[in-house]
């Protein structure tokens, strides 16, 4: 299968081929662990999880090395720990654990490696030393700064000119900077803040150098200076990715940091940027607390192409959940034996291979589900099994079918009980009672369908 991805570096869709045949390296900027993951973070990590799954489907999971770091050194972390009156370590440990749990609920696969900044300080210091030695960084007042005009390609990824950046820089630029566009690689830490001894005194790294150093430390030995894919939300293109790119190229004699740069679109909520002051800020845990299964959240996110912005609405989420129910309804009419050795539909894989066209891929599945619903016997089994195999690539539709319907609605057992009572009434030829139960359930939004394998229920659409 030929995979194509939109590459932000070239602004074109390009055929993907790993630099080392059959082995893929991928890095996604991980979370800064100061607060619970919000649904925008969730969307970005779901998007790149799908890239990982698709690569794993194509090359074999063991041949894809996926790194997603944990940023556990950051001023926002120091502030949040102070606000809550807890230690920094307590905050980062708790937040990292919550992040991993939320990602698990969203079906995001664990990365191959998840380096923490606090464990990567020697690699960071070594890279800063290399940048100074090569004339790309300088020390000033216990800070080390990257000298932007030492790298001619600076600005190419984000499409900005250094002159514009300098013109746009705020007046209160630190006086020790040679140019307003220069950015921090290392800064001093007072005794009460996290800090490490370094050739420039006790201090801590800037944000951008962390990723460059962790990529070099974790992926460098096996893959060299250039990895295959670097990804993150499109709010990271500038300055974060521009700076990562500059640091790595300058520390490695000009070698490109990544062949492909992939960026996902931002998520808004009910038409507005998420913000605590607007009251539309939603964490993953907020949504789960409404009783929505993580799989429905994931499915909802997959309905929008990862590159486009996504506007999250309650109505859209409800609709997504119903669509997922419809697929599960089909799967529950089929014996699990039918699922063995099934492959996803070709057209589904072709859509995903085309820069992760998830709306197109899901349209194929809806089509196949329509055919399956009107098919019988072995043909129905075959089509349903294709859908389930496609679900494995998307990270959905793998739940136990009975658990899906009982677990996703609070009174699932009660519904089953009433279906049994109706069946008994029908056996007893008490059709008035049987019809009454059916009508009562319908009034509660539950539709019964009598089929060859018995009676099943679904939520009315």
Q: Which does 444 bind (CB under 5 to 8 A by kind): ligand AMP, Zn ion, none?
A: none
Q: Which does 128 bind (CB under 5 to 8 A by kind): Zn ion, ligand AMP, none?
A: none
Identity of the residue, 267 or 425, whose beta carbon is nearer to ligand AMP in the bound complex? 267
Least distance from ligand AMP to the Cβ atom of residue 399, Å: 25
Q: Which does 211 bind (CB under 5 to 8 A by kind): Zn ion, ligand AMP, none?
A: Zn ion
Identity of the residue, 58 or 74, whose beta carbon is nearer to ligand AMP in the bound complex? 74
What residues make contact with ligand AMP under the rule CB under 6 A?
A: 29, 31-32, 40-41, 43-44, 232-233, 235-236, 266-267, 274
Q: Is 441 in the site for Zn ion (CB under 5 A)?
A: no
Question: Residue by residue, what is the 3-state secondary structure of the chain?
Answer: CCEEEEECCCCEEEEECCCECCEEEEEECCCECCCCCEHHHHHHHHHHHHHHHHHHHHHCHHHEEEEECEECCCHHHHHHHHHHCCCHHHHHHHHHHHHHHHHHHCCCCCCCECCEHHHCHHHHHHHHHHHHHCCCEEEECCEEEECHHHCCCCCCCCCCCHHHHHHHCCCCCCCCCCCCCCEEEEEECCCCCCCECCCCCCEEECHHHHHHHHHHHHHHHHHCCCEEEEEEEHHHHHHHHHHHHHHHHHHCCCCCCEEEEEEECCEEECCEECCCCCCCCCEHHHHHHCCCCHHHHHHHHHCCCCCCCEEECHHHHHHHHHHHHHHHHHHCCCCHHHHCCCCCCHHHHHHHHECCCHHHHHHHHHHHHHHHHHCCHHHHHHHHHHHHHHHHHHCCCCCCHHHHHHHCCCCHHHHHHHHHHHHHHHHCCCHHHHHHHHHHHHHCCEEEEEECCEEEEEECC
Q: Which does 31 bind (CB under 5 to 8 A by kind): ligand AMP, Zn ion, none?
A: ligand AMP
Identity of the residue, 179 or 313, whose beta carbon is nearer to ligand AMP in the bound complex? 313
The interface with Zn ion within residues 13-72 (CB under 5 A) comprises 29
Least distance from Zn ion to the Cβ atom of residue 116, Å: 13
Q: Which does 388 bind (CB under 5 to 8 A by kind): Zn ion, ligand AMP, none?
A: none
Identity of the residue, 27 or 404, whose beta carbon is nearer to ligand AMP in the bound complex? 27
Least distance from Zn ion to the Cβ atom of residue 283, Å: 22
Q: Is 211 in the site for Zn ion (CB under 5 A)?
A: yes
Of all residues in the shown chain, the one whose CB is closest to ligand AMP is 233
**Which residues contribute to the site for Zn ion (CB under 5 A)?**
29, 211
């Amino acid at each position: 299968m030929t995979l194509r991805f939109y590459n932000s570096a070239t602004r074109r869709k390009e055929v993907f081929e790993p630099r080392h045949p059959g082995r893929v390296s991928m890095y996604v900027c991980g979370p800064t662990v100061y607060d619970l993951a919000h649904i925008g973070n969730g969307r970005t990590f779901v998007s790149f999880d799908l890239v990982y799954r698709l690569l794993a489907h194509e090359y074999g999971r063991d041949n894809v090395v996926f790194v997603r770091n944990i940023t556990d050194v950051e001023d926002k972390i120091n502030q949040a720990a102070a606000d809550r009156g807890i230690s920094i370590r307590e905050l980062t440990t708790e937040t990292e654990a919550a992040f991993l749990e939320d990602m698990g609920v969203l079906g995001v696969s664990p990365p191959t490696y998840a380096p923490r900044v606090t464990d990567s300080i020697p690699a960071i210091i070594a890279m800063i030393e290399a940048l100074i030695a090569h004339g790309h960084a300088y020390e000033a007042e216990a800070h080390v700064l990257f000298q932007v005009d030492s790298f001619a390609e600076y600005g190419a990824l984000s499409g900005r000119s250094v002159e514009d950046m300098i013109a746009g820089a705020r007046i209160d630029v630190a006086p020790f900077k040679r140019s307003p566009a220069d950015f921090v690689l290392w800064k001093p830490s007072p005794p009460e803040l996290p800090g490490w001894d370094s050739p420039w005194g006790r201090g801590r790294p800037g944000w951008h150098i962390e990723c460059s150093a962790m990529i070099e430390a974790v992926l460098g030995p096996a893959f060299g200076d250039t990895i295959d894919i670097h990804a993150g939300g499109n709010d990271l293109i500038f300055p974060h990715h521009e700076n990562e790119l500059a640091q790595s190229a300058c520390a490695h004699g000009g070698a490109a940091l990544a062949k492909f740069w992939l960026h996902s679109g931002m998520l808004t909520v009910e038409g507005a940027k998420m913000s605590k002051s607007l009251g539309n800020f939603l964490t993953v845990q907020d949504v789960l607390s409404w009783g929505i299964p993580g799989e429905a959240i994931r499915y909802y996110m997959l309905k929008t192409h990862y590159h486009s912005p996504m506007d999250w609405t309650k109505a859209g989420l409800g609709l997504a959940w119903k669509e997922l129910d419809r697929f599960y309804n089909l799967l529950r009419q089929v014996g699990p034996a039918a699922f063995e050795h099934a492959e996803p539909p070709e057209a589904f894989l072709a859509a995903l291979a085309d820069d992760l066209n998830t709306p197109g891929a899901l349209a194929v599945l809806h089509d196949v589900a329509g055919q399956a619903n009107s098919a019988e016997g072995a043909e129905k089994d075959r089509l349903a099994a294709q859908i389930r195999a496609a679900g494995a690539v998307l990270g959905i539709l793998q739940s136990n079918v009975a658990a899906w319907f009982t677990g996703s609605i609070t009174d699932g057992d009660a519904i089953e009980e009433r279906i049994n009572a109706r069946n008994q009434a029908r056996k007893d030829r008490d059709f008035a009672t049987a019809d009454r139960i059916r009508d009562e359930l319908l009034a509660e939004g539950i539709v019964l369908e009598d089929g060859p394998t018995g009676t099943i229920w679904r939520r009315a659409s």
